[in-house]
Amino acid sequence: MDLQSIKNRFGIIGNSPGLNHALNVAVQVANTDLSVLINGESGVGKEVFSQIIHALSARKHNPFIAVNCGAIPEGTIDSELFGHEKGSFTGALDSRKGYFETVNGGTIFLDEIGELPLGTQARLLRVLEAGEYIRVGSSKVQKTDVRVIAATNKELLENTQSGKFREDLYYRLNTVPIRVPSLRDRKEDIPLLFRKFAADFSDRYKGAPIQLEEDAKALLMSYPWPGNVRELKNIAEQISVLSKEKNISAKELKAFLPENNFNRLPVLVGGKAALSQQEFANEREILYKLFFDMKKDVNELKKMFFEILQNPGIGQNIPMYNNHNNNIETMLPEHMASVSANNFGQSSQPVFISQKGEDIHHHEAIEESLSIMDKEKELIIKALKKHKGKRKDASSDLGISERTLYRKLKEYDIEE
């Protein structure tokens, strides 16, 4: 089957060199049983390539299933993939077959493979190397004959260096890599794709198809398309439904394009891949909460000291730690009364008075650690203790996802 026939069969539009190369690799590897890793940004159509590989393989009459690893909760993903026995965990009322059992003889497409927990990665590696797996709650080894095609929008090799992805699994999956180009890397295909989508929507909504003027085509090709083909399809549908004019100029087109995407920041910062938007948002939320809690503690501390200054009597029984001789000392109220609230804020060192009546002397303040990582770890530990080790409740209280909390537990080596 030639390349154009494959494009027609699977609805692929475009003739860019990068796209054609990716399709050629998919066709060549289809008749083998080699594992394939499809790389590409979100929205480029990675799942279509997995369908092409399956449809042109000897397994084409056997089952094919696509699994989004990022959409399955961490606690149930092993059960989904490998099955479980009755009573193996709360809610396991019956035995259940996993995908690797139901798709035996066929092909399984694991999208967002970088989201798999490390424990599940070890199980998957066993399937790839020996064709063996064990159901959750069972000790019986079962066999499966499944071809694995994986896809990711992350740089897995960098994740192996940070310990987020197993290096042995990466090289086992990456037997044949296919990189699907982003839309901004195949600009010559953008007008063709837009015209196809516009024609499809005109048929659906029973109207005349929209046409792009030359300046609108130029704008379409200069736009960065962070959402790739998926975003282009959405824009074409919006214009088809909302535009009163059928000939679209650049000015009219720009009204449908998000302004903040015209000057996007580069995806690489300091030589390392930047965090995804969702991960950055989770990190930011936990830091905000951390800083707000620190501010609250500092304000309470200030309030307490001002009360001591204004009412010396309440400070008689407050023990203070002497870092020179490890003796417990006490603030004497008559001396505290002589310190004004105004002078309190100006002193750079706290004043301690010994019980032996020695002269007033200064001690170096023991500074609290201001490390963000230490504070973040402390906050996570407090949340887990508060909710008695329940990660779901702790992550909700911290304002982050359960997956992010799990990653933080591994990163800080926190025992639950």
Q: What is the pLDDT of residue 375?
A: 78
CA atoms within 13 A on the CB side of 242: 10
Q: Helix (H, G, I), strand (E, B), or coil: what is residue 107?
A: strand
Please list the alpha-helical segments (H only) found in 313-388.
333-336, 341-344, 372-386
Q: What is the pLDDT of residue 366?
A: 43
Whether 221 shows a pLDDT value over 60: the answer reads yes
Using only C-alpha atoms, the chain has a radius of gyration, in whole angstroms, of: 31
Tokens of 337: 């009364």
Encode pLDDT of 27-86 as tens digits.
Answer: 999 999 999 999 999 999 999 999 999 999 999 999 999 999 999 988 899 999 999 998
Encode pLDDT of 288-342 as tens digits.
Answer: 566 666 766 777 777 776 677 667 665 555 444 444 444 434 444 444 444 444 4
Whether 185 shows a pLDDT value over 90: the answer reads yes
Q: Which of 414, 370, 379, 412 is nearest to 286 (CA)?
A: 379
Q: What is the pLDDT of residue 326?
A: 43
For range 215-230, the mean pLDDT: 94
Comma-separated ranges of CATH 3.40.50.300 domains in the chain: 3-181
Name the class of domain 184-261. mainly alpha
Q: Among all chains, which residue has been given the structure tokens 């996007």?
A: 264
Q: What is the pLDDT of residue 266?
A: 43
User: With contact defined as beta carbons under 8 Å apart, do 21 and 176 qualify?
Assistant: no
Say which residue, 393 or 69, is predicted with more confidence: 69
* Residues of the chain above pLDDT 70, percent: 75
Q: What is the pLDDT of residue 371?
A: 65
Whether 171 shows a pLDDT value over 70: the answer reads yes
H or E element: which one contains 294? Answer: helix 277-310
Mean pLDDT is lowest, of 132-136, 211-215, 282-286, 340-344, for: 340-344
Q: b/e string for 132-149 if b means 16 or more Cβ within 10 A?
A: ebbbbbeeeebebebbbb
Whether 365 shows a pLDDT value over 80: the answer reads no
Q: What is the pLDDT of residue 332?
A: 42
Strand partners, 136: 84
Q: What is the pLDDT of residue 358?
A: 43
Q: What is the pLDDT of residue 291?
A: 65
Q: What is the pLDDT of residue 325?
A: 44
Q: What is the pLDDT of residue 265?
A: 41
User: With contact defined as beta carbons under 8 Å apart, do 150 and 113 qualify?
Assistant: yes
Mean pLDDT computed over every residue of the chain = 81
Among the four given CATH numbers 3.40.50.2300, 3.30.70.1290, 3.40.50.300, 2.60.260.20, the one describing domain 3-181 = 3.40.50.300
Whether 271 shows a pLDDT value over 60: the answer reads no
How far is the C-alpha of 171 from the C-alpha of 365, rounded, in Å?
53
* Residues of the chain above pLDDT 90, percent: 54
Comma-separated ranges of CATH 1.10.8.60 domains in the chain: 184-261
- The full DSSP string for 167-213 is HHHHHHHTTEEEEPPPGGG-GGGHHHHHHHHHHHHHHHTTSPPPEE-
CA atoms within 13 A on the CB side of 188: 7
Q: Which of 157, 127, 155 is nearest to 142 (CA)?
A: 127
How far is the C-alpha of 5 from the C-alpha of 3, rounded, in Å?
5
Query: 268: exposed, middle or buried (C-beta count within 10 Å: 0-12, 13-18, 19+)?
Result: exposed
